[in-house]
Amino acid sequence: MHERIDIEGISVSPDHFIDGKRVGSPTTFETRCPFDWPRKLADVARGDAATADLAAQAASAAFPGWAALTAAQRGVYLHRLADLIEANVEQLALIECLDMGMLLESLRLRVILRGAANFRNYADLASAHEERVWSSRGTANRVIRSPAGPALIITPWNAPFMLSTWKCAPALAAGNTVILKPADWSPLSASLLADLIEQAGFPPGVFNIVQGLGTELGNALTGDPRIKRISFTGSVPTARVIGKAAAENIVPFTAELGGKSPLLVFADADLDAAARKAAGQYDDSGQVCMAGTRIIVEESVSEAFLERFHAYTDAHVMGDSRDPATTMSALIHPVHAARVLGFIDRARTAGDTIVRGGKRWKDDGNWIEPTLIAPRDNASEVVQNEVFGPVLTFQTFKDEAEGIALANSTAYGLSGIVYTGSAERAERVGRAVRGGTVWVNTFLIRDLTAPFGGIGISGIGREGGDYALDFHSDLKTLQILEGSVRSSQ
């Protein structure tokens, strides 16, 4: 076991959390600060197959006791954890900011508190669940929701704390034990979550964290037959590998895999609001899966829209993510920054027009200027593939049919944004745009009870509300012949 590390006055364990205890590893990996590169924050325990086995043993041993509790009893733990998250917002926000690079103000005011809301909402949803009851052909019927078993949660490096809580909360509320595998580029807020789990008094083994590299841990975790559910957010290639492992053991699997979402603007829209929201897609340097990265504007208002868009984009401030004046953060890692720059360079070489940006903000560091590209045609790589950086594309359309066709012209289908002043068009186009979530005249407002997930290569399955609780449960129909039994009391 390694000593805890002091990071700007906050104590963080670099170790795994298994069976209620900190567990070290003989080897480590580094995590560094995106906006103060190459400042090293910690050497983090690097798990292997033996670590994965230890976590699976702990989660399996703890499952019967946790599953035997009522939803209300489990809810006490989840509400206690939510209280602790709210009491530790400042520490969680600073560590997430340093480790992932997200803006500190956004983390303090919204993102970390969403983590507390995730645990509260799922505790309440699980407790309020009513079994479906009906009569059919002389039988009394009930659908019973039972805990499934240990759940493996694999989270990405962007918004790691919020996404960990979003996935772990329904698994725990449903009665499953959890093994969380955080991303190796931003693992530290998950370690703080484990501290809070311990403070909340969760039984040992109910919640476990295994840190490490996916290439070294992936097969051991996803292929373990003791794992009964797998929930993953990340890339399409990784999802294909995990999906094959899940299929080997016939394990239900959900995957949220990013997007290439359209931001469709009609001539009757509030152009100022649409342009402001479009410039807002550069938030977190575009490292947001649901971002509307393909701006598609009705031709007759394209120039007026662009004038407003450039004005709002010019107002962005790049810099230290701890500075309240900063509106655009650094990208998380030099490897990812190089990947994003590769998209821009290939677009330039292929004949796409770089309307603005297109280069690093400074000679060193992980910042890339807010970039807008007008593609030579819709088949352009930068239109069809997810960049996951501050790179938007700009296209125009002549009529509604062409706008919808462009919106639906990629293999992705996570979300969409539509701006229009017409109620009829809002309904018509909202239904026509291919995506798991479509916003009209707004963006990123989420009801936690609504289904969330993607279409096409944006993913399989749905999270959110009862959809997530059903995924983390085994559903049983119990049929009893009416009149054949009577109460003994």
DSSP assignment of 54-82: HHHHHHHHHHHHHHHS-HHHHHHHHHHHH
Decide if 260 is catalytic: no
> How does DSSP classify residue 318?
B
The sign of the torsion formed by the CA atoms of 28, 155, 209, 116 equals positive
> Do 98 and 441 touch, CB atoms closer than 8 A?
no
Buried b (16+ CB within 10 A) or exposed e, 99-119: bbbbbbbbbbeebbbbbbbbb
pLDDT at 356 over 80: yes
C-alpha dihedral, 423 to 429 to 433 to 439, nearest 10°:
-20
> What's the rounded Cα separation, in Å, for the pair 1 and 110?
34
Mean pLDDT of all residues in 282-311: 97
pLDDT at 431 over 90: yes
Decide if 369 is catalytic: no
Q: What is the pLDDT of residue 2?
A: 79
pLDDT at 68 over 90: yes
Q: What is the pLDDT of residue 364?
A: 75
> Do 183 and 155 touch, CB atoms closer than 8 A?
yes
pLDDT digits 0-9 by tens, 245-292:
999 999 999 999 989 999 999 999 999 999 999 999 999 999 999 999
Nearest Cα to Cα of residue 261 among 285, 296, 226, 236: 296
Q: What percent of the chain shows pLDDT beyond 70?
A: 100
Q: Give CA angle at 317 (311, 320), nearest 5°.
A: 170
Mean pLDDT of all residues in 291-319: 97
In this structure, the number of other CB atoms found within 10 A of the CB of residue 33 comes to 21
- Looking at 289, 298, 369, 386, which residue is catalytic? 289
Q: What secondary structure does DSSP assign to 171-213, as a single string?
A: HHHTT--EEEE--TTS-HHHHHHHHHHHHTTPPTTSEEE--S-
Q: Which long-range contacts (CB under 8 A, 24 or more apart) does 319-324 make?
A: 319/35, 320/35, 320/36, 321/34, 321/35, 321/97, 321/101, 321/102, 321/103, 321/104, 322/94, 322/97, 322/104, 324/104, 324/105
- Looking at 105, 168, 228, 256, which residue is catalytic? 256
Asked if the bond preceding 14 is cis, omega within 30° of 0, the reply is no
Decide if 40 is catalytic: no
> What's the rounded Cα separation, in Å, for the pair 199 and 178?
17
Domain ranges of the chain: 5-257+454-477, 262-440
Average per-residue pLDDT for the chain: 96
Q: In 398-448, at which residue ranges do the beta strands (DSSP E only) sit?
A: 415-419, 437-440
Nearest Cα to Cα of residue 167 among 212, 220, 210, 114: 114
> Do 219 and 246 touch, CB atoms closer than 8 A?
no
pLDDT at 12 over 90: yes
Non-local (6+) Cβ contacts of 326 within 8 A are: 103, 317, 318, 319, 320
> How does DSSP classify residue 110?
I
pTM of the complete model: 0.96
Decide if 167 is catalytic: yes
- Looking at 33, 96, 167, 260, which residue is catalytic? 167
450 CB-side CA count, 13 A = 10
Tell the CATH superfamily of the 262-440 domain.
Aldehyde Dehydrogenase; Chain A, domain 2 (3.40.309.10)
pLDDT digits 0-9 by tens, 121-162:
999 999 999 999 999 999 999 999 999 999 999 999 999 999
In this structure, the number of other CB atoms found within 10 A of the CB of residue 133 comes to 10
Fold of 5-257+454-477: Aldehyde Dehydrogenase; Chain A, domain 1 (3.40.605)
Q: What is the pLDDT of residue 318?
A: 95
